[in-house]
Every structure is written in C-alpha cells, then in structure tokens.
C-alpha cells in the first residue's frame, strides 16, 4: 500500500424528496447562483420547475446556462464565466449528470482567472480559487458529485482533457434516486459501464498489498452487476437506482484509489474517441474495456485478473489462464447483455482514424500502469475493438 491523504469535504444529501433541503445548503454559501443544466430532460421531468420554485422560495437570485452537452465544451465554460461576471453570481448550481457538474466546476475556477479557461487544461495556469459548487444529480455514472475532477472537450483543438483540484469538490450534492427513474435504458447501461470502468481503472493496479481497497472495489462491481439489469428492466426500482447511484459516487471519490497507483489507460483512449466522434462516454468504455483487459493480460498481470474472475464472477476454472480469460469474457458479455454495442465500427468510428486516435491518446506520454501502452499498443487495442 502506498502513502496517501484522504478527505471527503462534500456533503452528500441522499434520498427521496430532499430537494427542499438544498435551499439552506445554498444559502450557507451564496444568494446569487448560476443554474447550469443540459438539454430538455430536466424540463420534461418537471425537475426544472421544482428547482426554480425552490430558488424563488429561498429568495435566491439566479441566471441560467442551459444546453451544456454530454462531453461538455469549453465554450459552455466561457459562457458561464461571462454570466457569473455579468450578474455578480456567487455560486454554481449544476443540475444533471457529470458533464454539467464538470462544466460548472471549471466555470467556478475560471471566474477568478483573467485568461482563457482552456489554460487550466493545457497547464498554462493553475486553479487558485473557485466559486462554491453545488450539484443535483440525475444519473448514476460520473462520480463528479464527490470529487475534484473535471473533463472538458475543446472542439477547435479536438481535445478532451482533465483537471483535478481540491477546490473543485462540490460543497454539497443531492442524490435522489427517484430523479434517475427517467433515465432511459441505453443511458442507464452506459452509466453502469462508466461506473464499472471507474472501478476497473483503480482495481487493476500494480500496487501490492491493497487488500481492503480491492475487496471494496469487488463489492462495488458486484453491486453494478446485480442492479444494472434490474434498473434497465424496471426503471423505477428504487433499491436498484439507489444502490447504483450511491455506488457511482463511492466508485470515484478516492476510496478505491487511496494507497494505489491507478491505471486510467482505457479512459484516456476513450477520451480521444469521444473528442473525435462524440460517442457516449460509458458506451465507449464498455466497448474498449474487454479489449484493454485482453491486451494487458500477461504473466505479470495474470494474478489480478484471476482474482477478478474468481471474486467478482465466481469463475471456478482451476487453470489460472483460463479463469482470467473467462472473467474477461464475462465482462464483455455483461455489457452486451445491457444492450450496449461491442464494436467501435458500430458507433461511427472510422477505421482510418485509429492511428490518429492512438497518436493523440499518447501525445503526453505512454498510458497506464498495469502495462505501459505506447501509440502502437493503443492502436492494437482500438483495432481489436473495431
């Protein structure tokens, strides 16, 4: 186990009908907020009206930034910063999924920076201050509700880059499983693949002696495997939605990475796919993950894959190599069983772009910790997944 520091300053408010709670949480921080959201889904579901009512009941002034896209654009960040400055806003309230929260986080930091917000991602500047952030989650997937991460797309440079800063932890996040009842089957499936991928990126690690972290990761993987089919079959199954929502938060709040080197190669590759083709993040991960597993499976990494197969999938094969392969096959079959595509060719990726994706994914160096991947390795994984 490696040395680590660990702290979770975000206040999670979890459960049914607790929206009225957050008026007080906001007023601890601000009287003027930027309401950030995505498309029409929160309007259709009635959540938008309930939030507006809650803000008005609490006498909170607000301006709106709508239309934040999945794979959020740096342009939305720029617009948000302008609105905050124009209206002297004091806090960000992000409503929706991870893309909206990520966008809100970068607006919060960029408010205090005179240059262009993309500078945070190119490392031309660092976060030094940020407006407080609150989140209302409507999909189980991202983990952004209880961490300091943000990932943003730049259409001009065709890049998708990430940022972490402790100031970007939301002050509070409302997790109401009933708000996820309206998430359609394909998005529920992609969200589950995203959660599981977050767990894999931390579980598959070369750091020895991380027994408690690994058993907790397996606990969360089993939860996803158990409840994802139920949530797809029965969208208003509270228990399934609650377990998936809480697991999505626990899977990326630092609990599973404390004391470990983590991999993140699959995410880095997927980011480049999404930057070029706007593939749903979780869907891209579902396609790539089994091929990443197969590619990095070797003599050194075998024990971890055997442990995964036996503990998560109850694989009983006596031969270690066979057990590991069965675990990987079951992973791929599980994603397909959720209705997710299993080929990059099915989601619009062009074969002649594979080398370019591989080149961009490794532009800042090789990827991964389980096995270091260079551009050639990444291209091989992409071809296998094509």
**Nearest to a copy of itself of 22, 34 (CB atom):** 22
**Nearest to a copy of itself of 7, 352 (CB atom):** 7
**Nearest to a copy of itself of 3, 114 (CB atom):** 3
Q: How many residues bind a copy of itself (CB under 8 A)?
A: 40
Round to whole Å and give the CA distance between 166 and 220. 24
**Nearest to a copy of itself of 231, 273 (CB atom):** 231
Of the ranges 79-87, 222-230, 336-344, 361-369, which one interacts with a copy of itself (CB under 8 A)? 222-230
Q: Is 243 in the site for a copy of itself (CB under 8 A)?
A: yes
CB of 154 to a copy of itself, least distance (A): 34
Angle between helices 375-384 and 354-361 (to 10 degrees): 140
The number of residues making up the chain comes to 386
Q: Is 7 in the site for a copy of itself (CB under 8 A)?
A: yes
Do the beta carbons of residue 224 and residue 188 sit within 8 Å? no
Helix (H, G, I), strand (E, B) or coil at 159: strand
Structure tokens at 6: 């660990």
Q: Tell me how far apart the terminal alpha carbons of the chain are, to the nearest angstrom.
A: 37
Q: Is 1 in the site for a copy of itself (CB under 8 A)?
A: yes
Q: Is 147 in the site for a copy of itself (CB under 8 A)?
A: no
Q: Is 215 in the site for a copy of itself (CB under 8 A)?
A: yes
**CA distances, 285 to each of 116, 213, 301, 334, 362 (Å):** 30, 22, 20, 13, 17
Structure tokens at 338: 């959720």
Binding test (CB under 8 A) with a copy of itself, winner from 142, 223, 228, 262: 223
Q: Which residues contact 56 (CB under 8 A, 6 or more apart)?
A: none
Q: Is 114 in the site for a copy of itself (CB under 8 A)?
A: no
Maximum separation of any 2 CA atoms in the chain, in Å:
66
In the complex, which residues of this chain contact a copy of itself (CB under 8 A)? Answer: 1-16, 18, 208-209, 211-212, 215-216, 218-220, 222-223, 226-227, 238-239, 242-243, 246-247, 250, 255, 258-259
């Amino acid at each position: 186990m490696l040395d680590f520091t660990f702290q979770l300053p975000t206040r999670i408010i979890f459960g049914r009908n607790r929206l009225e709670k957050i008026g007080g949480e906001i007023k601890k921080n601000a009287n003027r907020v930027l309401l950030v959201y995505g498309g029409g889904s929160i309007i259709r579901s009635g959540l938008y009206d309930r939030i507006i009512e809650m803000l008005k009941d609490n006498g909170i002034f607000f301006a709106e930034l709508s239309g934040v896209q999945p794979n959020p654009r740096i342009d939305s960040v720029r617009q948000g910063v302008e609105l905050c400055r124009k209206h002297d806003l004091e806090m960000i309230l992000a409503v929706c999924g991870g893309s909206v929260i990520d966008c809100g986080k970068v607006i919060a930091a960029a408010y205090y920076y005179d240059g262009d917000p993309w500078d945070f991602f190119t490392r031309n500047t660092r976060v030094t201050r940020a407006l407080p952030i609150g989140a209302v989650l409507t999909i189980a997937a991202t983990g952004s509700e209880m961490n300091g991460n943000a990932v943003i797309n730049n259409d001009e440079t065709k890049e998708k880059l990430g940022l972490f800063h402790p100031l970007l932890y939301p002050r509070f996040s409302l997790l109401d499983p009933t708000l996820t009842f309206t998430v359609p089957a394909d998005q529920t499936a992609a969200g589950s693949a995203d959660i599981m991928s977050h767990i894999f990126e931390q579980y598959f690690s070369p750091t020895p002696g991380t027994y408690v972290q690994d058993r907790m990761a397996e606990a969360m993987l089993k939860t996803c495997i158990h409840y994802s089919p139920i949530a797809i079959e029965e969208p208003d199954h509270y228990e399934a939605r609650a377990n998936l929502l809480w697991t999505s938060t626990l899977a990326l709040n630092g609990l599973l990475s404390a004391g470990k080197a983590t991999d993140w190669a699959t995410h880095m590759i997927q980011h480049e796919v999404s930057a070029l083709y706007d593939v749903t993040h979780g869907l891209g991960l579902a396609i790539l993950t089994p091929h990443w597993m197969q590619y990095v499976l070797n003599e050194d990494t075998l024990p971890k894959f055997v442990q995964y197969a036996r503990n998560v999938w109850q694989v009983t094969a006596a031969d270690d190599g066979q057990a590991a392969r069965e675990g990987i096959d079951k992973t791929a079959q599980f994603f397909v069983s959720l209705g997710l595509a299993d080929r990059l060719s099915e989601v619009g990726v062009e074969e002649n772009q594979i080398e370019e994706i591989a080149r961009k994914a490794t532009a800042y160096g090789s990827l991964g910790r389980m096995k270091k991947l260079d551009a050639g390795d990444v291209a091989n994984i992409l071809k296998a997944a094509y």
